[in-house]
Structures are given as structure tokens and as C-alpha cells.
């Protein structure tokens, strides 16, 4: 009888520890952000150690590019086009976010820093070790993602496209209204404005 109790206790402990966990345990904490809602707070470091905090990026729109690392050459085309159209004139921040949540445990951080520094992207490359950006939008990393946050920190666009000059032009036309630096003019007394 004592032997049977021991066996049952061992089985109960084994079942407790070997029970399958939910496949998406993080979903309870992250729900997909709707367009027009405030974007998730992020505090990410780029490959050179500079911190990029979402609350410090107010005043200009933020264009975030992300995809699987195998899509990096496709994303490089997007990054270069956005850099020329928005970053150089100072209309918006352009950031490339790399999701490193599922990096192998035996890969050192220094190897990852060295690989991305060697890639020499034309825009800041941010390392998202916890997958904050991907979790908040349920990103499909098989296709380049273009995420646009307006100057007030609200999500205004999330699209997925492969690069093509005509597709870039169409996406750019959607982004342009958020990048206009026009200030509202107040009418003087007697003006009809």
C-alpha cells in the first residue's frame, strides 16, 4: 500500500511538471493594439548602445520596420527608401526593430551585436530582446512590416508588403499626412479664417 502511494505521488508530480503549457502564454498580457490607440511603451537599445524610448520620440512620427532576419535584404530596401524620404529631411524617425525573443540560448549577445553591426544598415537597428513590438501587434515576421506611430504616440498604420517602388510610393502617400510640419495658423481679428 505504501509503495502504491509513492508511485501515485511520483506520477502526480510528473504530470504537474510535464503538463503542456499554453502555446501563447504572453497573449494574456498583450492584446493587439487598435489603430488610433496609444502605442505600447518601449525602451530598446540599438546595436551601438543608444537607448530609444517611445516617450522621448514625441513630436515627429516614428516609422518602424520589422521582419524575420531572413528578410533583412528586403527590409534594407524599405529602410533606405524611408531614410531618403523621411529621415534625411527630418520629417520622421525611421527605426529597424529586430525581434530577438527566440534567439538560441547559446548565442551570445556580442555575436548578435557584431552580426548586425557588420550588416551596416542605413537606419538605427534596435534589438528587441523581449519581442515587445511584435507582441503588441501580433506581427507576421515572414513579410516586412511597416508600422507608423504619429507624433502623439498613437498607432496610425500597420501594413505588410514586399518592397517594390510603386508599393513604396503608395505607402509613402499614406504616411505623408502624418509628416506634414504645417502649424495651424490662427486668424487675426477681422479675418474670415
pLDDT per residue as tens digits for the range 178-188? 887 544 333 33
Report residue 24's pLDDT band, with 50, 70 and 90 as the boundaries.
very low
Least confident of 30-44, 84-98, 137-151: 30-44
Most trustworthy range by pLDDT among 29-33, 37-41, 117-121:
37-41
Task: Look up the pTM and report it.
Answer: 0.74
Name the nearest CA neighbour of 48 among 114, 131, 128: 114
Higher pLDDT: 136 or 170? It is 170
Report residue 30's pLDDT band, with 50, 70 and 90 as the boundaries.
low
Mean pLDDT for all residues in the chain: 81
User: Angle 88-89-92 (CA atoms, 0-180°, nearest 5)?
Assistant: 85
Work out the percent of the chain whose per-residue pLDDT is above 70: 85
Report residue 119's pLDDT band, with 50, 70 and 90 as the boundaries.
confident
Work out the percent of the chain whose per-residue pLDDT is above 90: 19
Query: Is 70 exceeded by the pLDDT of residue 27?
Result: no
Query: Mean pLDDT across the stretch 137-149?
Result: 88
Return the residue matching grid coordinates 486668424.
187
Report residue 189's pLDDT band, with 50, 70 and 90 as the boundaries.
very low
Show me where the domains of the chain are located. Answer: 26-179
- pLDDT, position 17: 67
43, 54 contact by CB (below 8 A): yes
CATH topology (fold) of 26-179: Glutaredoxin (3.40.30)
Query: Is 60 exceeded by the pLDDT of residue 2?
Result: yes
Amino acid at each position: 500500500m505504501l509503495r502504491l502511494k509513492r508511485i501515485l505521488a511520483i506520477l502526480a508530480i510528473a504530470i504537474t511538471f510535464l503538463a503542456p503549457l499554453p502555446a501563447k502564454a504572453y497573449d494574456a498580457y498583450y492584446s493587439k493594439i487598435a489603430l488610433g490607440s496609444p502605442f505600447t511603451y518601449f525602451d530598446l537599445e540599438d546595436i551601438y548602445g543608444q537607448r530609444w524610448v517611445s516617450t522621448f520620440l514625441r513630436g515627429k512620427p516614428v516609422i518602424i520596420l520589422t521582419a524575420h532576419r531572413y528578410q533583412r535584404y528586403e527590409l534594407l530596401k524599405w529602410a533606405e527608401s524611408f531614410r531618403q524620404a523621411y529621415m534625411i529631411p527630418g520629417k520622421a524617425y525611421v527605426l529597424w526593430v529586430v525581434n530577438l525573443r527566440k534567439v538560441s540560448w547559446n548565442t551570445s549577445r556580442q555575436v548578435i551585436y557584431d552580426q548586425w553591426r557588420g550588416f551596416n544598415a542605413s537606419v538605427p537597428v534596435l534589438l528587441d530582446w523581449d519581442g515587445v513590438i511584435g507582441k503588441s501587434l501580433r506581427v507576421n515576421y515572414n513579410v516586412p512590416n511597416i508600422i507608423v506611430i504619429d507624433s502623439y504616440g498613437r498607432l496610425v498604420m500597420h501594413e505588410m508588403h514586399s518592397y517594390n517602388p510603386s508599393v513604396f510610393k503608395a505607402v509613402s502617400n499614406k504616411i505623408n499626412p502624418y509628416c506634414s510640419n504645417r502649424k495651424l495658423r490662427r486668424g487675426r481679428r477681422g479675418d474670415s479664417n
